[in-house]
Structure 1
Amino acid sequence: MKVKFSIIVPTLNSGKYLERLLSSLVNQSFSEFEILVMDGVSTDNTLEIINSFHDKRIEIYSSPDKGVYEAMNKGLSIAKGYWVFFIGADDWLFDKHTLEKVYKRLAKTSFHVAYGDVLIQGDSDWAKDQEVYAGKFDAFRLTKKNICHQGIFYRRSFLNKNQLFFDLKYPINSDWDFNLRCRTKTDFHYLNLIIANFSSGGISTNSKRKDQFYSEIPSKYPEFLPSKARIISSKFIHYIKKKFH
């Protein structure tokens, strides 16, 4: 079987939710995928639940890691699929035909990154319960809010060619930085499909929890800002450097 999708699932003591996610994956109408569970040495029943599925498409890699983004990097380094998809243990695919619908569209596109929407489950600081998040993004909009990685697909050959991995210095927003770095290399294609159910409650759903990346966006990605905003950002960065250095 040729692997069309590598589905990477970071886990750590995820037994409470994992059966729902894995059921949504193994029961897909499209079957040409691998599930790479990157476990951070769980001490609950996470591994028991995974093994109870008896599905050869599921591979478990359990070793200590520095958090979800290192687990995702590990998964990316061993993935074999044409397309890579990351999903959290407490999230799940929208319906049993999701991957089939996505693959039919990806097979016709030359884009290297394609994305759809997610259905929010539970209120967060940036989206409400049952809201469909978040429509089409241009580069400027991507500097203001991120595309949920539960709704985005990356061509693996593109990531490998450009040596794109998650930057571990951003413990909360590394996926946002990752998407912007991808965007500097290629345009994105909007699929106009709901891909997954996104469970609110993680650290990224609280607007008060931001790492240093949030303040670095104007200096790291000025090419995505309108000309006026670029000037303002440049002056602000110059002021900060002069004041504190």
Structure 2
Amino acid sequence: MKVSIITVCYNSEATIENTIKSVLSQTHKNIEYIIVDGNSTDNTKTIIQRYSSAIHQFISEPDKGLYDAMNKGLQLATGDIISILNSDDVYKDEQVLEQVLNRFSANTDAVYGDIVYVKRHNTSKIIRYWHAGNFKRYKMKYGWMPPHPAFFVKATIYKSYGTFNTSFKTSADYELMLRLIYKNNITLHYLPKLLVCMSDGGQGNASLKNRLKANLEDKKAWLVNGLTPPVFFRLLKPVIKIPQFLFRRKLE
């Protein structure tokens, strides 16, 4: 299967090269790599151009935010499976794509795994371990969602149910998951492995404090999909994330 990997970036000179290398080192080689840059003013574009022969699509232009940039990448993607790997992310190892693709079947719409947040200058230091666990529909009423950086989905799903709703500034990924998984009942397979490492402080990172702010938009995600937000939802969603900051599992 062909995999389209989308990286969005803006002034990411400190991390973008590691992201690119983690993609290019994958043992699965049928990859379409797409990078969408928001017209960076640092050395990001120079670094990307070093790998131009291995990057299939590269655009650099102003955008309307992170999710607008992601949608640009989705419009360019031609792969069977799509993954979004932001410029502060790296795949855990070279076998990630191969292991994920082995879990897809005709009846599987998406595969997801675990992610970990690490210190930018000390990647062995874990800040937050997001152990996703098996999907149960009722969990979404308590704020559960798969980690978006470790979410691999068939391209046909985006075509059927749409891309990111850019009216959301911080929670478009949550709204997308709610729309795909809870409203439209796509089929999921959980791969119980650490798939993606993220550096703290990057554009894809979300601290507990920031999640409390985003919680205001999370309720809106239910409403725009014609769903009734669960009682005490605004309290429950931040609470279920607390163990991610307390649990210090070692990198496998």
For the superposition of Structure 1 and Structure 2, which TM-score range results when normalised by the shorter chain? 0.7 to 0.9
- The answer to whether the 8 Å contact 1:5/1:85 transfers is yes
1:66-105 correspondence runs (5 A):
66-105=64-103
Work out the CA distance in 2 between the residues paired with 1:101 and 1:133. Answer: 17
Query: Could you list the per-position Cα deviations for residues 130-164 of structure 1 after superposition, in whole angstroms to 9, with x for gaps in the alignment?
Result: 624322232332341332211001100121123x1
1:29-108 correspondence runs (5 A):
29-106=27-104, 108=105
Query: Could you list the per-position Cα deviations for residues 191-229 of structure 1 after superposition, in whole angstroms to 9, with x for gaps in the alignment?
Result: 22221112333463322322642233554568697xxx5
- The answer to whether the 8 Å contact 1:33/1:57 transfers is no
Q: SS of the residue aligned with 2:68?
A: helix
Work out the CA distance in 2 between the residues paired with 1:192 and 1:145. Answer: 16
1:190-209 correspondence runs (5 A):
190-201=190-201, 202=203, 204-205=206-207, 206-209=210-213
- The answer to whether the 8 Å contact 1:139/1:224 transfers is no
Give the aligned residue type for 1:87: L
- The answer to whether the 8 Å contact 1:171/1:211 transfers is no
Over alpha carbons, which structure has the higher Rg?
Answer: 1
Aligned to 1:140: 138
- The answer to whether the 8 Å contact 2:175/2:218 transfers is no
Between stretches 132-141 and 168-177, larger displacement belongs to 132-141
- The answer to whether the 8 Å contact 2:174/2:221 transfers is no
Aligned to 2:238: none
Asked if 1:158 corresponds to 2:162, the answer is no
Asked if 1:119 corresponds to 2:110, the answer is no
- The answer to whether the 8 Å contact 1:6/1:83 transfers is yes
Percent identical among aligned pairs is 26
Query: Could you list the per-position Cα deviations for residues 104-135 of structure 1 after superposition, in whole angstroms to 9, with x for gaps in the alignment?
Result: 222x3521122111122149xxxx62624322
Work out the CA distance in 2 between the residues paired with 1:14 and 1:79. Answer: 22
- Label 1:155 to 1:147 Cα distance change in 2 as closer, same or farther (>3 A): same
Work out the CA distance in 2 between the residues paired with 1:224 and 1:134. Answer: 24
Give the aligned residue type for 2:192: N
Work out the CA distance in 2 between the residues paired with 1:24 and 1:116. Answer: 17
Q: SS of the residue aligned with 1:22?
A: helix
Give the aligned residue type for 1:61: I
What is the CA-CA distance between 1:54 and the residue it aligns to?
4.0
Query: Could you list the per-position Cα deviations for residues 35-90 of structure 1 after superposition, in whole angstroms to 9, with x for gaps in the alignment?
Result: 11011101111111111124334421111111110000011111000011011101
- Label 1:218 to 1:52 Cα distance change in 2 as closer, same or farther (>3 A): closer
Work out the CA distance in 2 between the residues paired with 1:220 and 1:48. Answer: 40
Cα RMSD after superposing both structures: 2.5
Aligned to 2:218: 214
Give the aligned residue type for 1:216: K
Tell me, which stretches of 5 or more residues in structure 1 are unaligned?
Answer: 234-245
Work out the CA distance in 2 between the residues paired with 1:68 and 1:55. Answer: 25
What is the CA-CA distance between 1:24 and the residue it aligns to?
0.7
For this pair of structures, how many residues does the alignment match? 221
- The answer to whether the 8 Å contact 1:170/1:211 transfers is no
Work out the CA distance in 2 between the residues paired with 1:79 and 1:218. Answer: 28
